[in-house]
Amino acid sequence: MRVAIFGATGMLGKALLHQWIGDDVTGIGSAQADIRNPDQVRTAIEHSKPDWIVLAAAYTDVDGCEINPTLASSVNTHAAVNVAKAADRAGSKLLFVSTDYVFDGKKNSPYETDDPRNPINAYGRSKADAEEKLAQVLPDCCIVRTSWLFGPGGKCFPDTILKVASSRKEIEVVNDQRGCPTYTMDLADAIIQLCRSGAKGIVHATNAGDCTWFDFAKETLRQAGVSTTVKPTTSDKYVRPAERPKYSVLSPASLNACSIKMRPWQETLPDYLAERGRSHAELASSLSNRA
């Protein structure tokens, strides 16, 4: 099978390239093709002739999207449609990576795939609009909604917490947003399985279990052996440009229906911490070699 990954230089894209063994995989970053440019998208697809396209490229800065909603819809909606149209012309299947932020967070039980979209920020709106438009261009496309991604080679929550905690005795973390932390390597494995099984429609793919950012921070520091105290706080004390849903837990039912089960998020942290330690050691050694 031939596969093209748009967004290959991002956190999830790197995990997909790392995990995807046994197929002919081409990674495409924005330097190879800006997905806002239909010609560049078409050329990249004609070049790689993929059976499957994974669209992991996006403008993912949630507060940046709120400040610049035109850029958000240009990259996350209109450019996604460019990729879908090119996929349609080339006869390629498409898997689009979407987000829990298409929901408003007003539920208090896990979101199912047929729950209505009702985004409360510009990032969520741009992805929800893309989902609707993609389903019109390519009714058989697969939309994988995920959440709270973390992994090596990207700016992510546990990395930030570990950096902040390294110089403080006590930190405050919000305890009033609940979601599902998801390790990029595990999500990559699920995406690979979905493509290999010819999945269609909306699938929710996250690691099992849910927590608040406070719980996530506490567990990260506990497993890393860092003694910094974590205190719970509320989002109103940390006002940011974009509002976040209070509850965006995604139900695993659609993933389980594809015969895929993802492990609890707590079990992924040792793998993440080992990878993070390795990349920090490599960076330190390359800097000392240069000195």
Ligand X SMILES: NC(=O)c1ccc[n+]([C@@H]2O[C@H](COP(=O)([O-])OP(=O)(O)OC[C@H]3O[C@@H](n4cnc5c(N)ncnc54)[C@H](OP(=O)(O)O)[C@@H]3O)[C@@H](O)[C@H]2O)c1
As annotated, the active-site residues are: 123
Q: Which of 48, 73, 82, 146 binds ligand X (CB under 6 A)?
A: 146
Q: Which of 44, 53, 149, 230 binds ligand X (CB under 6 A)?
A: 149
Q: How far is CA 267 from CA 51, 147, 220, in A?
A: 33, 17, 11
Q: Which residue in the block uniquely carries the two structure tokens 């990207």?
A: 154
Pair 233, 173: CB distance under 8 Å: yes
DSSP-derived 3-state class of residue 130: helix
Give me the least distance between CB of 85 and ligand X, in Å please: 15
Per CB under 6 A, the segment of 9-17, 84-92, 132-140, 189-197 that binds ligand X is 9-17
Per CB under 6 A, the segment of 11-19, 192-200, 226-234, 281-289 that binds ligand X is 11-19
Per CB under 6 A, the segment of 6-14, 171-179, 208-216, 270-278 that binds ligand X is 6-14
Q: Which of 58, 95, 128, 195 binds ligand X (CB under 6 A)?
A: 58
Residues 6+ positions from 173 with CB-CB distance below 8 Å = 161, 213, 214, 216, 217, 218, 230, 231, 232, 233
Q: How far is CA 6 from CA 3, 90, 95, in A?
A: 10, 15, 10
Quote the CA–CA distance of 109 and 156 in Å, as a whole number. 26
Give me the least distance between CB of 130 and ligand X, in Å please: 9
- Taking the least distance from each CB to ligand X, the nearer of 156 and 230 is 156
- Taking the least distance from each CB to ligand X, the nearer of 59 and 214 is 59
Mask 94-133, x = binds ligand X (CB under 6 A)? Answer: ---x-x----------------------------------
- Taking the least distance from each CB to ligand X, the nearer of 110 and 154 is 154
> Helices (H) and strands (E) in the chain — how many of each?
11, 12
- Under the binding rule (CB under 6 A), the answer on residue 34 touching ligand X is yes
**Alpha-carbon 62 to chain mean position:** 12
State the alpha helices, DSSP H only, in 138-264. 157-165, 184-196, 213-224, 253-257
Q: Which residue in the block uniquely carries the two structure tokens 């995406």?
A: 191
Residue type, 28: I
Tokens of 65: 């999207």
Give me the least distance between CB of 156 and ligand X, in Å please: 7
Give me the least distance between CB of 131 and ligand X, in Å please: 11
DSSP-derived 3-state class of residue 77: helix
Pair 53, 59: CB distance under 8 Å: no
- Under the binding rule (CB under 6 A), the answer on residue 57 touching ligand X is yes
- Taking the least distance from each CB to ligand X, the nearer of 19 and 289 is 19
Tokens of 262: 């993802």
- Taking the least distance from each CB to ligand X, the nearer of 25 and 75 is 75
- Under the binding rule (CB under 6 A), the answer on residue 287 touching ligand X is no
- Taking the least distance from each CB to ligand X, the nearer of 93 and 290 is 93
Residue numbers at the binding site for ligand X (CB under 6 A): 7, 9-13, 29-31, 34-36, 56-60, 75, 79, 97, 99, 146-149, 154
